Structure 1
Amino acid sequence: MKKLLATLALALIAPVMLAPAAMAETAQQSKMTTCNKDAAGKKGDERKAFMKECLSNKPAAPAAPVTQQDKMKSCNKDATGKKGDDRKAFMKECLKKDK
C-alpha cells in the first residue's frame, strides 16, 4: 500500500517538476528557430549550406565600452575650429553623449 501511494504521489508530482525544464527553450533551439526563419525560400544544397553556416556562427562579442579618454579624443577632433564658449558648450554636450 505504501509503495502504491509513493508511486501515485511521484506520478502526480514529477510532471509538475519537469514541466518548466521541458518548456524552456535552450539557446540552440532558439538559434535553430531563428535560422529556420532566415532560411525561408532556400531549398536543397543552398538551404543545407545556409543552415550549417547559420548554426555554426558564434554570437557577436559585445562591443568594448567607450572610455572617457576615447570620448575626449573623438570630441576634440570634432571640435576643431571652435573656440571659447562655443567650444566649451560643444565639448560639454559631446562628452555627455553615449557613443
Structure 2
Amino acid sequence: MRAVSVAVLVLALSGHAMAAEGTCKARATEKKLAGAALNSFMKKCESDAQTTCDTAAGDKKLAGAAKSSFTKKCVIDAVGT
C-alpha cells in the first residue's frame, strides 16, 4: 500500500523532460510523417522516452511498483495518444 501511495505522489509531482518538447505523436504530425517513416519515428521516439523515463525513475530512487508505475505513465505521456 505504501508503494502505491508513493507512486501516486511521485506521479502527481513529477514533470517530464519530454513534455517540454511535445509528445511523439504531436512531433510526428508536425513533421507530416506517414507510413514507414511514421512507424520508424514512433518506435525510436518511444525507445528514447523509455530510456529518459528509466533515468528519471533512477534519479528519484524509485524501485518496485513505484518505479514501474512512474515509468509506464512517463512513457505514455511522452508518446501521446
TM-score by length of 1: 0.32
The structure whose residues are more often helix, as a share, is 2
The structure with higher relative contact order (CA 8 Å, sep 6+) is: 2
Structure 1 or 2, whichever has the larger Rg, is 1
